[in-house]
């Protein structure tokens, strides 16, 4: 068995248990004969306080080597501390360690170690992303992220969904938006020098290939065999959008359900979001409270607002009705809304924050602003699309009922200048045993932003990839 983590020790009864602490020094303070060392191993936000008594009457007695180590013990060094667990008289913790021995495993010289006791800006920490997980904020975000990832699997597995690993390299543009990263082993330098056009028959896959923007199309093939499936993996978008909500590499969760329509899809999305909220509010309460308290850049009152969402039903509104509401307030926007326009972030925020005051599902968007695979409504102008919008962020989920009729799907592809033969396998689903089906995609980082209140999406993924940013 592995040694216990600090979070486990904090729950032991404080009855003079002998124990060993392993972790990194957060702070060291001295008060008369006492040295207080806060040690954190990332298992809980608070860590544990270890108290060394350097006085001659100290009990337990401190070894002389321990006294020397304590003399110069910088923030960030790794230590193994031995002592006894005792009830803490101080506020802020119920137990602490009466320590008698310490080993310094790895020093972290204060002159050069970038993470000092003071609070650092999130921008600065982004530049040292390899060390930022050692700060309490990024530790908390990492734990929340991990718990939520597990929650995603729990939710779907409990509802009879199968987890599908869809490919990361693909030949198709699933969203038809053209924001693709190309994957090639062609010698670009030699090509440029020769001035010749690339011949993709000579490329690794024998044709142009890309990093996937979505696992949806492949997920659909499995949904029309296993009934309920989901993917959860990295997706890539070469959009040149330098915003606080866009990444070039992000993780997406995409369920796909057979024999289902848009109403089923909306219900699934609401149940999914509420399940994750329940999990995170229950299991990550300490981390969320910490982020809210310490991080002046996150908004206040987030956990209370999330709790309220759990107790309410999501509002549904059609795109057309949403547009009427926006047009009535046209003077509030930089981008003037009109029927047919794609909703801008300012419009989405207005709808969810001002019109509804909570999450809202907008449905039935004009077909021109949505992907080719969405089911056409009888009006032939709008499609069975749904976007879930939330306060502070806007779109967090995008989904739709899929076009299940072969001829209609093929027509739509032709209208959009796509080559149906490139998607023959996808069209086959409509040729053989077609069924109404629906699904959606949730940006995992957007959801983490939503629950933590972290303002920049680059702070909720360990190593953000965005325009001009692929360090580490
Ligand atoms: O709305 P999107 O583009 O939908 C799809 O990809 C569909 N294939 C999903 C489906 O129906 N299976 O993306 C889905 C979600 C968005 O709502 C947003 O939360 C997130 O993915 N997302 C991004 N997150 C971070 N950075 C980006 N550049 C993102 N683009 C989309
Ligand atoms: Mg979308």
Angstrom CA distances, 48 to 20, 26, 41, 44, 282, stand at: 12, 10, 9, 9, 22
Task: Kindly state the average pLDDT of the residues 173-180.
Answer: 84
CATH 2.40.50.140 domain position(s) in the chain: 6-106
| Residue 219, φ and ψ in degrees, nearest 5 | -60, -40
Task: Kindly state the average pLDDT of the residues 160-187.
Answer: 93
Query: In this predicted structure, what is the pLDDT of residue 297?
Result: 59
Beta strands in 237-301 (DSSP E): 249-258
Query: In this predicted structure, what is the pLDDT of residue 14?
Result: 80
Task: Kindly state the average pLDDT of the residues 14-24.
Answer: 89
**Sign of the CA dihedral 97, 101, 105, 109?**
positive
427-451 pLDDT per residue, tens: 999 999 999 999 999 999 999 999 9
* Binding site membership of 439 for ligand 1 (Cβ less than 6 Å): yes
* Binding site membership of 262 for ligand 1 (Cβ less than 6 Å): no
Q: Which CATH superfamily is domain 132-165+261-443+450-455 in?
A: Bira Bifunctional Protein; Domain 2 (3.30.930.10)
CATH 3.30.930.10 domain position(s) in the chain: 132-165+261-443+450-455
Lowest-confidence region among 5-14, 387-396, 429-438: 5-14
The CATH classification number of 6-106 equals 2.40.50.140
Best mutation site among 174, 214, 233, 398 for ligand 1 pocket (most ligand atoms within 8 Å of CB): 398
Atom of ligand 1 nearest to the CA of 256: 12
Tokens of 237: 């978008």
Rounded distance, CA 13 to CA 332, Å? 58
* Binding site membership of 255 for ligand 1 (Cβ less than 6 Å): no
Neighbours of 274 (CB within 10 A): 18
- How does DSSP classify residue 215? S
Best mutation site among 177, 235, 250 for ligand 1 pocket (most ligand atoms within 8 Å of CB): 250
Query: In this predicted structure, what is the pLDDT of residue 62?
Result: 83
| Residue 37, φ and ψ in degrees, nearest 5 | -120, 120
* Binding site membership of 164 for ligand 1 (Cβ less than 6 Å): no
Lowest-confidence region among 64-68, 159-163, 335-339: 64-68
Task: Kindly state the average pLDDT of the residues 361-366.
Answer: 98
235-286 pLDDT per residue, tens: 999 988 889 999 999 999 999 999 999 999 999 999 999 999 999 999 999 9
Strand order in the sheet with 169-170: 169-170, 209-211, 182-183
Mean pLDDT of the chain: 94
Residue 193 pLDDT greater than 70, yes or no:
yes
Closest CA to 99 of 45, 42, 44, 25: 25
Best mutation site among 216, 441, 451, 461 for ligand 1 pocket (most ligand atoms within 8 Å of CB): 441
| Residue 112, φ and ψ in degrees, nearest 5 | -120, -20
52-95 pLDDT per residue, tens: 998 877 666 788 888 899 988 999 999 999 999 999 887 778 89
């Amino acid at each position: 068995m592995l040694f216990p983590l600090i979070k486990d020790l904090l729950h032991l009864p404080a009855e003079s248990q002998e124990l060993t602490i392993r972790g990194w020094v957060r702070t060291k303070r001295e008060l008369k004969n006492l040295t207080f060392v806060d040690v954190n191993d990332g298992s809980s936000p608070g860590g544990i306080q270890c108290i060394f008594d350097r006085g001659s009457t100290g009990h337990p007695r401190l070894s002389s080597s321990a006294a020397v180590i304590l003399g110069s013990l910088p923030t960030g060094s790794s230590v193994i501390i031995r002592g006894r667990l005792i009830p803490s008289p101080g506020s802020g913790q119920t137990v602490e360690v009466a320590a008698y021995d310490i080993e310094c495993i790895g020093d972290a010289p204060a002159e050069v170690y970038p993470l000092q006791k003071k609070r650092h800006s999130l921008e600065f920490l982004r530049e040292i992303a390899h060390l930022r997980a050692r700060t309490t904020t990024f530790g908390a975000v990492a734990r929340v992220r991990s718990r939520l990832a597990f929650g995603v699997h729990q939710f779907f597995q409990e509802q009879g969904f199968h987890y599908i690993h869809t490919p990361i390299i693909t030949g198709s543009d699933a969203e038809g938006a053209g924001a693709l990263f190309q994957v090639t082993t062609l010698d670009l330098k030699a090509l440029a020098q020769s001035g010749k056009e690339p011949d993709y028959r000579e490329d690794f896959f024998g044709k142009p290939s890309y990093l996937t923007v979505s696992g949806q199309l492949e997920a659909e093939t499995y949904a029309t065999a296993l009934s309920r499936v989901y993917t959860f993996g990295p997706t890539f978008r070469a959009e040149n959008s330098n915003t606080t909500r866009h990444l070039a590499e992000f993780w997406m969760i995409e369920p796909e359900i057979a024999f289902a329509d848009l109403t089923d899809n909306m219900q699934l999305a609401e149940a999914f979001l509420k399940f994750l909220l329940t999990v995170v509010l229950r299991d990550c309460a300490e981390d969320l409270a910490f982020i809210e308290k310490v991080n002046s850049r996150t908004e206040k009152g987030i956990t209370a607002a999330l709790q309220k969402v759990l107790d309410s039903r999501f509002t549904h509104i059609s795109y057309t009705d949403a547009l009427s509401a926006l047009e009535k307030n046209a003077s509030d926007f930089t981008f003037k809304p009109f029927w047919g326009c794609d909703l801008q972030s300012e419009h989405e925020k207005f709808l969810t924050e001002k019109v509804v005051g909570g999450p809202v599902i907008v449905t039935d968007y004009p077909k021109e602003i949505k992907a080719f695979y969405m089911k056409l409504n009888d009006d032939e102008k709008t499609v069975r699309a749904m976007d879930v919008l939330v306060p502070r962020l806007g779109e967090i989920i995008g989904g739709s009922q899929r076009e299940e009729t072969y001829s209609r799907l093929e027509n739509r592809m032709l209208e959009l200048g796509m080559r149906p033969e490139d998607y023959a396998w996808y069209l086959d689903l409509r040729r053989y045993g077609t069924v109404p089906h629906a699904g959606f995609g949730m940006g995992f980082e957007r959801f983490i932003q939503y629950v933590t209140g972290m303002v920049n999406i680059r702070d909720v993924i360990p190593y953000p990839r965005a325009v001009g940013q692929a360090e580490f």
